[in-house]
A = this chain, B = another copy of it.
Amino acid sequence: MRTIKFSIHQTMIQTELAGDLRLKWDRIQKAMQQMQADGCLLSVDVNLYYTTGHIFNGYFYLPAEGDPWFFIRRPNGLEGEQVIYIRKPEQLPELFAERGLKMPEKLLLEGDEIVYNEFMRIQKVFQPKEIGNATALLRSVRSIKTPWEIGQFRISAKKHTETYAEIPSCFRPGMTDLEFQYEIEQRMRKNGSIGLFRSFGANMDIYMGSVLAGENAECPSPFDFALGGGGPNPSLPIGANGTILKDGTAVMVDMAGNYTAYITDMTRVFSIGKLSGFAYKAHQTALEIEHRIEETAQPGTPCAELYNLAAEIAGREGLSPYFMGTKQQAKFVGHGIGIQINELPVLTPRSKEVLQPNMVFALEPKFVIPGIGAVGIENSYLVTDTGLEKLTIFKEEIIELY
């Protein structure tokens, strides 16, 4: 086994991640061998971070067997075994030949992540007999977290809950949802939020998470998030929109747990004064859904079954019209988390996935109550060998703000 060394500005960094990276490469290689692929060429930030612990402008090439290669354009100054500086991908065939590296006949490219013209350029460079989907493979491999990754989630979860404990101190009567959010953001940053919030797929813009107050919770969004909100500007139609936090309304806080590259997801509901009995009942139903899924879920459980269980409890309580939205209802109740907020698996009725040990996902049964706002809960869970471990431990009842 080779170690991977990067040196940045003459400071040699023997990465502490060497073992973790090797574990990930082994899993990717095993998956490639099963599909008779000869190698994958990765260039998208999240996949580079996953496979190298770094983000660079260039390519990571992993053959189905043997050590990976790092073809780097920028930044200057990275050094290490199998690190080669390039100016353009057209140099790769010659570099492969010089190093005795076989050109792949079946090459995997990130077809759901890189733009068409970049894909065509790489295809022309390699001219492989066949191209497979590296995005699908990486998303599948990435859904089972490594011990190091699980450690990163634990760091994020701890800081996430510490920040949520500070949320009541962010409130002042008469403020808007945006003003409330700015205060929460500042506490997030001071607690180490790195700011960035990555998601998979086009047009999934959001900023640090979402605060939904009162009627704004009903507003449908173009995005595939659980709930919507009108947003602060037509160019960002999601989340807080300047709603004044009025007595008798709910404020749902679903701000990011981006304290490491691995994002935890967590929602708590706050109330300005007291809410209607119906809102508390819906919140209790969300908690019941959470508890029932906590009891049921274990390795082997189909994700569709968990969605159906949630929808069934909502229906039994007569809350289907409010479940995961009103005017527009999301058709999932949970989703994998990781370097991106929307990884695999997805807890949706059409899912074919089953839970596996070391998956990490967010469970978010929520109801939108017209005139009041959104209620419900969201926590992040690790799938253990026997069930679920909750990562984001913090009181779950509706918290009254003064």
The chain A residues found within 8 Å of chain B, CB to CB, are 8-9, 43-45, 49, 53-57, 73-77, 109, 111-120, 133, 135, 178-179, 182, 185-186, 189-190, 194-196, 198, 202-203, 205, 207-208, 218-224, 228, 232-237, 260-261, 327-328, 339
- Verify B202–A115 contact, CB threshold 8 A: yes
- Verify B235–A261 contact, CB threshold 8 A: yes
- Verify A75–B222 contact, CB threshold 8 A: yes
A124 CB to nearest chain B CB (Å)? 13
Overall SS of chain A's interface: loop
A216 CB to nearest chain B CB (Å)? 11
Q: Which residues of B sit under 8 angstroms from A53, Cβ to Cβ?
A: 234
Given contacts A43-B202, A190-B182, A235-B49, contact A77 B220 (CB under 8 A): yes
Given contacts A203-B45, A205-B45, A234-B261, contact A75 B119 (CB under 8 A): no
A171 CB to nearest chain B CB (Å)? 16
Given contacts A75-B221, A115-B115, A186-B186, contact A233 B260 (CB under 8 A): yes
Closest residue on chain B to residue A195 by CB atoms: B207
A219 to B234, CA, bound (A): 36
Given contacts A189-B185, A327-B76, contact A202 B114 (CB under 8 A): yes
Copies in the complex: 2
Q: Which residues of B sit under 8 angstroms from A45, Cβ to Cβ?
A: 202-203, 205
A125 CB to nearest chain B CB (Å)? 15
Find the residue from A43, A194, A208 having the highest chain B CB count within 10 A: A194
A222 to B72, CA, bound (A): 9
Q: Which residues of B sit under 8 angstroms from A56, Cβ to Cβ?
A: 222
- Verify A232–B116 contact, CB threshold 8 A: no
A9 to B218, CA, bound (A): 9
- Verify A109–B115 contact, CB threshold 8 A: no
A9 to B196, CA, bound (A): 31
A185 to B185, CA, bound (A): 9
A207 to B234, CA, bound (A): 20
A9 to B116, CA, bound (A): 36
Given contacts A111-B117, A208-B195, A260-B233, contact A222 B74 (CB under 8 A): yes
- Verify B235–A196 contact, CB threshold 8 A: yes
- Verify A55–B235 contact, CB threshold 8 A: yes
Q: Which residues of B sit under 8 angstroms from A74, Cβ to Cβ?
A: 220-224, 328
A232 to B189, CA, bound (A): 11
A120 CB to nearest chain B CB (Å)? 8
Closest residue on chain B to residue A197 by CB atoms: B207
- Verify B111–A113 contact, CB threshold 8 A: no
Q: Which residues of B sit under 8 angstroms from A208, Cβ to Cβ?
A: 195
A112 to B117, CA, bound (A): 6
A190 to B185, CA, bound (A): 12
19 A-B pairs in the complex with CB atoms less than 8 angstroms apart: A9-B327, A43-B202, A45-B202, A45-B205, A57-B203, A57-B223, A75-B237, A111-B116, A112-B117, A115-B116, A115-B202, A117-B133, A179-B190, A185-B185, A194-B235, A195-B208, A195-B232, A196-B205, A236-B261
